[in-house]
A and B are shown apart, each in its own frame.
Chain A
Amino acid sequence: MKVWIVMLLGGLVTCGTRFSFIYLFGKFNIPEKMRKALHYVPPAVLSAIFFPELFLHDGALDLSFGNFRLLAGLVAVLVAWWSKNTLFTLIAGMTTLLLLQFFF
Chain B
Amino acid sequence: MSEPYKNFWAGVRAEFPLLVGVFPFGLIYGALALNSGLSTSAAQMMSSIVFAGASQFIAAQLLHESAPGLVIVMTIAVVNLRHMLYSASLAPYVASLSTRWKVLLSYLLTDEAYAPSVLHYEKEGVTPYGHWFFLGAGFALWFIWQVSTALGIFLGSAIPESWSLDFALPLTFIAMVVPVLKDRPAIAASLSAGAVALLAFSLPYRSGLILAALAGIAVGTFLEERKSPGGTLPPKGIL
Contacts and interface: CB of A to CB of B under 8 A. Distances in A.
A47 to B, nearest CB: 4
A50 B106 CA distance: 23
Contacts of B82: 45
Interface in A52-104: 52-56, 59, 61, 69, 72-73, 76-77, 80-81, 84-87, 89-90, 93-94, 97-98, 101
Contacts of B76: 10, 13-14
B180 A42 contact: yes
Nearest to B74: A13
B217 to A, nearest CB: 4
Q: How large is the interface on B (under 10, 10 to 19, 20 to 34, 35 or more residues)?
A: 35 or more
A10 B72 contact: yes
Nearest to A3: B42
Given A14-B83, A25-B95, A40-B185, A55 B213 contact: no
Interface residues of A, number: 69
Nearest to A24: B91
Contact of B174 (A9, A30, A50, A87): A50
A99 to B, nearest CB: 11
Interface of B: 14, 17, 20, 38-39, 42, 45-46, 49-52, 55, 59, 63, 69, 72-73, 76-77, 80-92, 94-95, 102-103, 105-107, 109, 111, 115, 118-119, 122, 162-164, 167-181, 185-186, 189-198, 201-202, 208-209, 212-218, 220-221, 224-225, 231, 234-235, 238-239
